[in-house]
Amino acid sequence: MISLRGLSKRYGDRTAVDDLSLELRPGTVTGFLGPNGAGKSTTMRMILGLDRPTAGVALVGGLPYHEIRDPLRTVGALLDARAVHPGRSGRAHLLALARSNGIARSRVEEVLETVGMAGAAGRRAGALSLGMSQRLGIAAALLGDPEVLMFDEPVNGLDPDGVRWIRHLMRSLADEGRTVFVSSHLMSEMQLTADHLVVIGRGRLIMDAPLAEVIARSSLTAVVVRSPHAGDLSVRLSAAGITVERRGENELVATGTGLEQVGDLAHEAGIRLHELSAREASLEQAYEELTAGSVEYGAPRARV
């Protein structure tokens, strides 16, 4: 488990991470989302002891990273796929990590097979494509068979088959009871992969909730109802504190509620329904609403 308690990082007068407190639990893929400059990479670096917090603490299994006795067996991380000596082969890079951490040589071959690099392990790291460098970085993260795994933009450079592979890999790692923490800007992949989401902006926590709850809170998530008594139903829903928009004579769109509540209210009022369906926002839409006020480096609007 990863625990962040009041974690902050300042660079001069700029606050990169601001009083961040989280609990990232085993058996879960937690997606870490936020605009560019939000503080995601800085947070991950502080967890790994690469940056020193200005305030607060980051714990892995109850300990700061520098106090973990066998760090590679406890935490596996991919933060920068190119952080490998360019003259070493992929296999030599992994062997150096294994030897320095008391890991058997056979484990190197296992992870090379797992990431699909067994046939390319003899190539120099500097000659690998970005996608293959990502696979090598993931192999290094898996090397110690750790309980906690952290990935920063792991699908960069991967082809569609590679993207599907890492999606299934992260899900399988969580299913084994491991803590999986992954940062990404690909909302469609996060919607398919993550169980839980942490969203930050300008270094501050915006949302810490299950994926389904993040989407359900979007104003674009709604219940569509058709009824010959739409007017009467609109009155009942409004009285229950539900926002209702009339669409034509027989159709309503209700927000701030779910199918069950609308169906129950209609049943209690004896109102016949011809349609009761959910219109769910995408994660991308929900994310854009959450971070609308936190985009620090947004692109200018295109002129038409």
pLDDT tens per residue across span 281-301? 899 999 999 998 776 655 554
User: Is the separation of the CB atoms in 40 and 34 below 8 Å?
Assistant: yes
**Domain 222-279: CATH architecture, name and number where available:** 2-Layer Sandwich (3.30)
User: Is the separation of the CB atoms in 207 and 197 below 8 Å?
Assistant: yes
pLDDT tens for 44-90 read 999 999 999 999 999 999 999 999 999 999 999 999 988 889 999 99
Q: Which residues contact residue 7 at a Cβ distance below 8 angstroms, ignoring those fewer than 6 apart?
A: 17, 19, 20, 21, 43, 46, 53, 55, 56, 57, 58
Query: Which segments of the chain belong to CATH 3.40.50.300?
Result: 2-214
In order along its 304 residues, the chain shows pLDDT tens digits of 999 999 999 999 999 999 999 999 999 999 999 998 899 999 999 999 999 999 999 999 999 999 999 999 999 999 998 888 999 999 999 999 999 999 999 999 999 999 999 988 899 989 989 889 999 999 999 999 999 999 999 988 888 898 999 999 999 999 999 999 999 988 999 999 999 999 999 999 999 999 988 988 887 888 999 999 999 999 999 999 999 999 989 999 998 788 999 999 999 999 999 999 988 889 999 999 999 877 665 555 444 4
Query: Which segments of the chain belong to CATH 3.30.70.100?
Result: 222-279
Which three-class secondary structure state does DSSP give residue 62? Answer: coil
What global pTM score does this model have? 0.84
- Return d(Cα 263, Cα 302) in angstroms, integer: 44
Domain at 2-214: CATH code? 3.40.50.300
For residues 33-47, one letter each, b for 16 or more C-beta atoms within 10 angstroms of the residue's C-beta and e for the rest, the string is bbbebbbbbbbbbbb
β-strand pairing of 148-152 with 75-78: parallel
Which three-class secondary structure state does DSSP give residue 54? Answer: coil
- What's the whole-number average pLDDT of the chain? 91
